[in-house]
């Protein structure tokens, strides 16, 4: 059996990561393997989830959905768990990842866009694997829920108007999409856009995901990677000393026992030093 293309999906909370993964995997609400999506700014996906392998144009694809990253202002336990989960995921990955997909809403604060990009490009190995940017919510309702003007070809028009905003980043591809799903009405409203989005993203995965993979499982590489990831996150999240998170013994224990952090690293991580 040929090796599948392994895709790591990341992005901010509520960007539409799980909606995209469900759609790409061909899962509809009601299917036991359909993963829950969120209805609020609360993060729904807290642990990474590996979808079962499926095929597109003869290629096997395995998606890994991750916990949403919360922007810097709200450093807290959940965010730290999300980070630690991604580190754990990379450490535990036997086969590595051939492609990263960064899922983002269309309206995103510039600093957050830059920070997220730097994290995944420079720290997680985007220099070695390609990153595809998938911009969601390009439909009748924008990211803030405001109605926007109807256009015949929303994806093409959005890309034409916005491509220049991403010129500083080395994305292998930028794909405008809509992954809104749900019952009958949602299907009527968004079904066609979803089908078009699914095809565009799957084609891009097959096109760009055939290179080698990034692996962090070797202990030395993992440790360097984990420390680098932590430091970068701390750079991104610790805005002022008075906003530091207070020491949390449970989290320290978990980082240490389950995720291979040294006590010193765990303490620094939690305290945001």
Ligand X SMILES: Nc1nc2c(ncn2[C@@H]2O[C@H](COP(=O)(O)OP(=O)(O)OP(=O)(O)O)[C@@H](O)[C@H]2O)c(=O)[nH]1
Q: Which residues bind ligand X (CB under 6 A)?
A: 11, 13-19, 37-39, 43-45, 68, 136-137, 139, 141, 178-180
* Placement of tokens 């760009």 in the chain: 208
- Find which of ligand X, Mg ion, none residue 137 binds, CB within 5 to 8 Å per kind: ligand X
Q: Kindly tell me which of 67 and 266 has the beta carbon lying closer to Mg ion.
A: 67
- Find which of ligand X, Mg ion, none residue 64 binds, CB within 5 to 8 Å per kind: none
- 246 Rama sector, left if φ>0, alpha if ψ -120 to 50, beta otherwise: beta
Q: Kindly tell me which of 85 and 118 has the beta carbon lying closer to ligand X.
A: 85
Q: How far is the CB of 48 from Mg ion (least distance, A)?
A: 10
Q: Kindly tell me which of 141 and 238 has the beta carbon lying closer to ligand X.
A: 141
Please select the residue that binds Mg ion; options are 45, 93, 104, 232, rule is CB under 5 A: 45
Q: Kindly tell me which of 193 and 266 has the beta carbon lying closer to ligand X.
A: 193
Number of chain positions touching Mg ion (CB under 5 A):
4
Count the neighbouring beta carbons within 10 Å of the beta carbon of residue 73.
9
Could you tell me which of 69, 128, 122, 140 has the C-alpha nearest to residue 231? 122
Could you tell me which of 210, 216, 172, 199 has the C-alpha nearest to residue 3? 210
Q: Kindly tell me which of 200 and 221 has the beta carbon lying closer to ligand X.
A: 200
Q: Give how far Cα 140 sits from Cα of 178, 207, 211, 255, Å.
A: 9, 29, 36, 42
Q: How far is the CB of 22 from Mg ion (least distance, A)?
A: 9
Q: Kindly tell me which of 44 and 141 has the beta carbon lying closer to Mg ion.
A: 44
Q: Kindly tell me which of 45 and 116 has the beta carbon lying closer to Mg ion.
A: 45
Could you tell me which of 46, 40, 120 has the C-alpha nearest to residue 76? 46
Q: Give the residue at shortest CB distance from ligand X.
A: 68
- 238 Rama sector, left if φ>0, alpha if ψ -120 to 50, beta otherwise: beta
Could you tell me which of 228, 255, 257, 123 has the C-alpha nearest to residue 267? 255
Which residues in 171-200 contact Mg ion (CB under 5 A)? none
Q: How far is the CB of 88 from Mg ion (least distance, A)?
A: 17
Q: What is the DSSP letter of 241?
A: G
Distance between first and last Cα of the chain: 46
Q: How far is the CB of 82 from ligand X (least distance, A)?
A: 8
Strands (E), 16-87: 49-50, 54-56, 59-65
Q: What H or E segment, with its residue span, contains residue 55? A: strand 54-56
Inter-residue contact 211 to 98 (CB < 8 Å): yes
Please select the residue that binds Mg ion; options are 18, 23, 104, 213, rule is CB under 5 A: 18
Q: Which stretch binds Mg ion (CB under 5 A): 14-22, 133-141, 208-216, 229-237?
A: 14-22
Contact between 23 and Mg ion per CB under 5 A:
no
Footprint on this chain of Mg ion (rule: CB under 5 A): 17-18, 44-45
């Amino acid at each position: 059996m040929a090796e599948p293309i392994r895709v790591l999906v990341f992005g901010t909370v509520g960007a539409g990561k799980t909606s995209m993964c469900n759609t790409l995997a061909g899962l509809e609400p009601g299917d036991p393997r359909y993963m829950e999506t969120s209805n609020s700014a609360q993060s729904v996906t807290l642990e990474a989830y590996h979808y079962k392998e499926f095929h597109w144009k003869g290629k096997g694809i395995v998606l890994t959905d991750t916990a949403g990253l919360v922007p810097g202002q709200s450093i807290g336990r959940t965010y730290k768990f999300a980070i630690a989960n991604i580190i754990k995921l990379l450490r535990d990955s036997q086969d590595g990842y051939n492609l990263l997909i960064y899922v983002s809403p269309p309206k995103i604060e510039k600093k957050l866009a830059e920070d997220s990009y730097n994290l995944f490009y420079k720290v997680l190995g985007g220099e070695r694997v390609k990153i595809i940017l998938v911009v969601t919510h390009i439909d009748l309702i924008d990211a803030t829920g405001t109605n926007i003007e109807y256009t015949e070809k929303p994806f093409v028009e959005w890309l034409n108007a916005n491509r220049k905003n991403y010129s500083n980043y080395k994305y292998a591809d930028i794909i405008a999409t809509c992954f809104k799903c749900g019952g009958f009405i949602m299907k009527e409203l968004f079904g066609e856009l979803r089908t078009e989005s699914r095809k565009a993203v799957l084609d891009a995965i097959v096109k760009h995901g055939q290179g080698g993979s990034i692996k962090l499982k070797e202990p030395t590489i993992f440790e360097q990677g984990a420390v680098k990831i932590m430091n970068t996150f701390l750079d991104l999240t610790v805005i002022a000393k008075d906003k530091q998170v207070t020491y949390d013994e449970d989290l320290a224990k978990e980082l240490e026992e389950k995720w291979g952090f040294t006590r010193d690293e765990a303490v620094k991580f939690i305290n945001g030093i």
